[in-house]
């Protein structure tokens, strides 16, 4: 048996181990993106924890969420400034919906 033939099973083992390691890293990364996305971890307390601890209403929680992440999340096809403006507009939308509710209007009416 040649040296190459002796090494072949070991090479397959290394290749398989490497692939399995990559798969585990990718799974961990996907989980991390879902559980602790970078645009929410810039603060000592993540928005979801702050919102839940303070038993906030849906609209108020969304305002907090979008304001806290603005400037940290980059949307596809947008630069950093456009992305920040988008999150601020989302926060503003929830504020406008609350104002509509307080005025007795349909919350989703657009003015």
pLDDT values of the chain reduced to their tens digit, one per residue, 111 residues:
566 555 566 667 666 776 777 677 666 655 666 666 777 777 788 888 899 999 999 999 999 999 999 998 899 999 999 999 999 999 999 999 999 999 999 999 987
Separation of alpha carbons 46 and 69, rounded Å: 10
User: How far is the C-alpha of 91 from the C-alpha of 2, rounded, in Å?
Assistant: 68
Global confidence as pTM: 0.66
**Comparing C-alpha atoms, which of 34, 44, 103, 104 is closest to residue 68?**
44
CA distances from 14 to 18, 21, 27 (A): 6, 10, 20
Task: Report how far residue 47's alpha carbon sits from residue 40's, in angstroms, rounded to the nearest whole number.
Answer: 7
């Amino acid at each position: 048996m040649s040296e190459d033939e002796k090494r072949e099973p070991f090479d397959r083992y290394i290749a398989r181990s490497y692939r399995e390691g990559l798969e585990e890293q990718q799974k961990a990364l996907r989980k991390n993106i879902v559980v602790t996305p970078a645009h929410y971890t810039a603060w000592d307390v993540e928005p979801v924890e702050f919102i839940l601890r303070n038993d906030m209403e849906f609209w108020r929680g969304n305002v907090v969420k979008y304001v806290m992440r603005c400037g940290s999340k980059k949307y596809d096809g947008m630069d950093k400034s456009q992305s920040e403006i988008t999150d601020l507009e989302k926060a503003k939308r929830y504020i406008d919906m609350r104002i509509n509710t307080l005025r007795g209007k349909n919350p989703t009416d657009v003015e």
